[in-house]
Amino acid sequence: MSLSMYQASIPVCIKQLENLSNILKKGEAYAAAKKIEPEVLINARIAPDMFPLSRQVQIAADIAKGCAARLAGKEVPSYEDKEKTFAELQERIAKTIAFLKTFTPAQIDGSEERKVTLKIGGNEMVFAGQPYLLYFVLPNVHFHATTAYAILRHNGVDVGKKDYLGSF
């Protein structure tokens, strides 16, 4: 049995976002236990030229929702990037997961050759569906989730590989 575009996209993105949600819960609990203002962690970054934790979460969610919509030939919903609290970041993740769960295999499967056009930094990028998923979406979702994890870990939150991978 071959792996379908649906199986390689929607469940993978949902799992990564669920794991990211659990990592954020640990970050919030850590801030409360250590009496750290939550915005310190939410605005933390690994390097001065990198996005903060909040933006890492926003981008992971945006890439995931964009993937589902584009592969299904649907309009990508727009979310405001206004999250400033752990609760708001959790809301964004939950909203994204709920959106992803509206897609069926029939909407995504067969999208291997669907033309996907993105504007990034003023440049237009054109992909076929499968390379878009495998070489753009999945690496980006994992990169931004990993970076969010690393920001929290760097700031003392007790998270490990098991938190990043979640349960199987």
Write out pLDDT tens, residues 131-153: 999 999 999 999 999 999 999 99
Q: What angle do CA 91, 153, 35 make, to 5 degrees?
A: 70
Structure-block tokens of residue 41: 């962690």
| Class of domain 5-165 as given by CATH | mainly alpha
**Which pLDDT score, from 0 to 100, does residue 1 have?**
58
H runs (alpha helix) in 34-137:
38-42, 53-72, 86-100, 105-108, 129-131
Residue 117: per-residue pLDDT: 94
Of the chain, the percentage scoring pLDDT greater than 90 comes to 95
Q: Pick the range with the lowest mean pLDDT from 47-56, 116-125, 140-149.
A: 116-125
What pLDDT is attached to residue 13?
98
Confidence of residue 167 (pLDDT cuts 50, 70, 90): confident
